[in-house]
């Protein structure tokens, strides 16, 4: 009894202390900066911090959006609707799934919670995966930004859409063959679950639900963003230039770069265009297609939501498929 009382006291004071810390920082952060201790911190730390913060600030609104869409699907879309909407033929269902991004332009941060919810609601896993991989590429916002970034070579935008479409379908097929009928989502103590039917406000429940999911997703986002900002600050991209002209290795290198940088898919075209003419078209394409599909920050989110076996499989299959799609595309068109 006494122990639990002390326990509660400690926790409450911790919470209060935390609040005071935030309030104090809000009011007096400027004054603190003059402390001599901070001037001794190397400037790379500040750069990492700045890049990290900016990734977080950019991603959080879309995570929130994804979380709310997921909550809305949870509350208002029934299993029956999904069963009716998705085509019965497993192969036929892939094509509309790959094009869904045109109507729902969701970026790669927002899509993971949404897809998890859809799969939970009965969408076949391979259809969900195709939607997850293609939506961040095949959407109007991304098309427009790619078109602008490669204004002098406009076919890059079209090629990106095309290769993105083809590779996500192929990945969907492979996933279908391998994980047919299997549950790819993480199972979390479903057994002890007891249904308390909520009498209260449905809106309130949705909001509680959203806040829980925000923290669930948020922790992976924060770790992922931190890793990405380390790569952003320390990886010398000029190292890549030496292999930029090789048709075999350059796409690999650029895919690796797309993976570690974790730039949002609506902005990565500008990063790619800064590599300019030193890289082959194929490698730029590989960067533009692979980066939005899988990168550090959404890998972590995937591990949070899906079974390990599935995520590892996806992490192996996706780069291979993208690489070979780009390679073949290169042989035919470039």
Cβ neighbours of residue 285 closer than 8 Å, sequence gap 6 or more = 156, 159, 160, 163, 251, 326, 329, 330
List 306's β-bridge partners, or say none. Answer: 185
Q: Which is nearer to other proteins, 162 or 270 (CB)?
A: 270
Q: Cβ of residue 142: shortest distance to other proteins, in angstroms?
A: 10
Q: Which is nearer to other proteins, 89 or 192 (CB)?
A: 192
Distance of alpha carbon 43 from its chain centroid, rounded? 29
Q: Cβ of residue 88: shortest distance to other proteins, in angstroms?
A: 25
First-to-last C-alpha distance (Å) of the chain: 75
Q: Cβ of residue 281: shortest distance to other proteins, in angstroms?
A: 6
Q: Cβ of residue 5: shortest distance to other proteins, in angstroms?
A: 10
Q: Which is nearer to other proteins, 182 or 212 (CB)?
A: 212
Q: Cβ of residue 138: shortest distance to other proteins, in angstroms?
A: 12
Residue 15 CB coordination number (10 Å): 10
Distance of alpha carbon 265 from its chain centroid, rounded? 9
Q: Which is nearer to other proteins, 284 or 322 (CB)?
A: 284
> Longest C-alpha distance within the chain, in Å?
76
Q: Which is nearer to other proteins, 43 or 89 (CB)?
A: 43
Q: Which is nearer to other proteins, 7 or 316 (CB)?
A: 7
- DSSP sequence for 146-178: HHHHTTTSTHHHHHHHHHHHHHHHHHHHHHHHH
52-55 LR contacts (CB < 8 Å, sep 24+): 52/225, 52/226, 52/228, 52/229, 55/225, 55/228, 55/229, 55/262, 55/297
Q: Cβ of residue 48: shortest distance to other proteins, in angstroms?
A: 10
Q: Which is nearer to other proteins, 89 or 332 (CB)?
A: 332
Q: Which is nearer to other proteins, 173 or 235 (CB)?
A: 235
Q: Cβ of residue 288: shortest distance to other proteins, in angstroms?
A: 13
Residues 114 and 124: their CA atoms lie apart, in Å, by 14
Q: Cβ of residue 259: shortest distance to other proteins, in angstroms?
A: 14
Which of 95, 94, 84 lies closest to 122, judged by CA?
A: 84
CB burial string 243-268: b at 16+ within 10 A, e below: ebeeeeebbbbbbbbbbebbbbbbeb
């Amino acid at each position: 009894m006494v122990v639990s009382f002390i326990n509660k006291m400690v926790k409450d004071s911790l919470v209060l202390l935390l609040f005071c810390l935030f309030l104090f920082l809000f009011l007096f952060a400027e004054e603190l900066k003059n402390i001599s201790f901070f001037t001794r911190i190397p400037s790379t730390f500040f750069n990492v911090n700045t890049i990290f913060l900016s990734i977080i600030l950019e991603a959080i609104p879309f995570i929130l959006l994804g979380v709310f869409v997921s909550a809305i699907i949870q509350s208002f879309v029934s299993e029956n609707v999904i069963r009716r909407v998705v085509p019965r033929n497993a192969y036929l269902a892939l094509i509309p799934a790959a094009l869904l991004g045109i109507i729902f332009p969701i970026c790669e941060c927002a899509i993971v919670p949404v897809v998890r919810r859809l799969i939970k609601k009965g969408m076949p896993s391979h259809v969900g995966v195709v939607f997850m991989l293609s939506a961040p590429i095949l959407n109007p916002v991304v098309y427009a930004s790619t078109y602008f970034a490669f204004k002098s070579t406009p076919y890059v935008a079209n090629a990106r859409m095309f290769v993105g479409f083809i590779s996500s379908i192929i990945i969907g097929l492979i996933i279908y063959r391998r994980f047919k009928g299997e549950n790819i989502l993480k199972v979390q103590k479903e057994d002890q679950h007891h249904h308390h039917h909520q009498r209260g406000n449905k809106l309130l429940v949705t909001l509680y639900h959203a806040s829980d999911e925000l923290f669930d997703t948020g922790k992976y986002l924060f770790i992922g963003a931190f890793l990405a900002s380390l790569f952003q600050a320390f990886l010398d991209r000029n190292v890549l230039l030496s292999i930029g002209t090789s048709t075999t290795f350059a796409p690999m290198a650029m895919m690796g770069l797309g993976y570690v940088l974790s730039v949002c898919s609506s902005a990565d075209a500008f990063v790619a265009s800064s590599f300019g003419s030193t890289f082959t078209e194929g490698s730029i394409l590989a960067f533009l297609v692979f980066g939005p599909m899988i990168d550090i920050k959404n890998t972590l989110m995937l591990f949070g939501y899906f079974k390990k076996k599935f995520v590892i499989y996806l992490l192996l299959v996706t780069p291979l498929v993208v690489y070979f799609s780009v390679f073949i595309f290169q042989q035919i068109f470039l």
